[in-house]
Amino acid sequence: MGPQGPSLLLEQFGPLQGVRVLSTGSIVAEPVAAGMAAEMGAEVIHIERPGGGEDWRHAEFPIEAPDGEQVASSWVQDRRNTYYTTLDFSTPEGQEIFLNLIRRTDIWMESSKARTYDKWGLDDAAILKANPSIVICHVSGFGQDGDPEYVKRASYDFTAQAFGGMMNLAGNPDPDPPSRAVPWTADYITALFCLWSSLAAYIHAQRTGEGQVIDLAQYEAVHRILSGTMVAYHELGMVRERAGNKAGNAQPWDTFRAKDGWVVVAAIGPVVYSRVCQVLGLDPEDEKWVSARREIESPQGIEFDAILRGWVEERTMDEVVATMNDSQIGCSKIMNAQEMAENSHYQQRGVHVEWEDEQLGKTVKGVGIVPKFSKTPGKIWRGSVPVGHDNDLVYRDLLGLDTDALDGLSERGVI
């Protein structure tokens, strides 16, 4: 038993063993960050509202459990290895319980509009007073401060993709509409920012004993991965727009239709481009084709694209992929779920694994642990569980509440 109290995990594993994460967000971004930590050995306690829990439990592509409950496929995939409790923060008893959990926690992650917890007396100052070394990661759509009109706005994955600039670059040019990246790409990007920043602050806390607060705005996480878009604007006055799948300054880099489906062909630099020319029977030293690589809208650039498309159209996806890869040219089918499940490389790397899901009462199969660690691998020790499944375990074993106290809290709707 350390200063954070006894570990609830029966088996210690992974690079994050000994780290306790308290998770109080909803929908996708923050809970996914906590779930990834749990797959790497952190002890994660997630809190939902008493009663029905999160609506996201039943959201997309639901699977029916033996009790008739509809469990979302995304919940089954993302909510593994986690202790699930319920708590009403608006009650004095709930606030006391929460602060007792905070005292035993290394990292608290939450997602809500700015200052949501302040109204319950659980502002950052109160949290750091209860545990001076804790890392707090606030995930919100627009941040904890800034223009008040934006700070108070609701935000979802779609909103962040639009406001953060991603959708302006995704899809075909006008008059086609912008496209969103799926599934929930802004949320998953934010989850990755949430986890790495929390762990960076945790390393600092371990070294110095000082906790701190992370202000993670979802739109900023999306905005950060726009490559040089904003430098190009500030330094060149360039406003990038949608260009479809084609690269704007060199070819080939696009989607191409074969006899039986779509492939991507990607060649960066003159060396790989010359390999494409050789596959097509074109002289890579001919100045016409040398210039066609970068002058993609020129007559020779358009002709090169037409020749490549004609070559691809005459062949199956497998033939195109085999020929291109034999010549060390980036090329792949655009894979669907069935193709990925049946693919030999996915299978030999063990990407898809089975685990026991307690809600569904059966073995399920999905994506396993990513990435692979040589010394401290992650693992799946259980699947998703019903609302409040671990109330007794967490509140009894960690906080020391007895059965009578737990029954009373339940009767009053606190847990």
Can you give the pLDDT at residue 3? 52
**Residue 87 CA to chain centroid, in angstroms?**
26
Residues contacting residue 288 through CB under 8 Å, at least 6 positions apart: 300
- Is residue 392 in some structural domain? yes
- Is residue 10 in some structural domain? no
Can you give the pLDDT at residue 350? 98
Among residues 335, 364, 397, the one where a domain terminates is 335
Tokens of 223: 């905005």
List, in sequence order, the alpha helices (H) in 225-295: 229-236, 269-280, 287-292
- Is residue 234 in some structural domain? no
pLDDT digits (tens, 9 = 90+) for 93-123: 999 999 999 999 999 999 999 999 999 999 9
Q: Are residues 78 and 192 in the same domain?
A: yes
Using DSSP, state whether 225 is helix, strand or coil.
coil
Q: Is the Cα dihedral 54, 56, 59, 60 positive or negative?
A: negative
Q: Are residues 56 and 143 in the same domain?
A: yes
Among residues 335, 360, 380, the one where a domain terminates is 335
List the domain range (segments joined by +) for residue 138.
20-225+351-411
**Does the model's pTM come out above 0.75?**
yes
Can you give the pLDDT at residue 95? 97
Assess contact for 254 and 262: CB atoms under 8 A: no
Q: State the distance between the two ends of the chain, measured CA to CA, in whole angstroms.
A: 26
Strand 43-48 relative to strand 135-140, pairing: unpaired
- Is residue 191 in some structural domain? yes
Can you give the pLDDT at residue 4? 73
Can you give the pLDDT at residue 248? 79
Active site residues: 187
- Is residue 236 in some structural domain? no
| Residue position matching structure tokens 């008893």 | 93
Tokens of 32: 């996914």
Backbone φ and ψ of 129, nearest 5°: -65, -40
* Number of alpha carbons in the 13 Å side-chain half-sphere of residue 59: 15
Q: Are residues 192 and 105 in the same domain?
A: yes
Residues of the chain short of pLDDT 70, as ranges, are: 1-3
> Exposed, middle or buried: residue 374 (CB in 10 Å: 0-12, 13-18, 19+)?
exposed
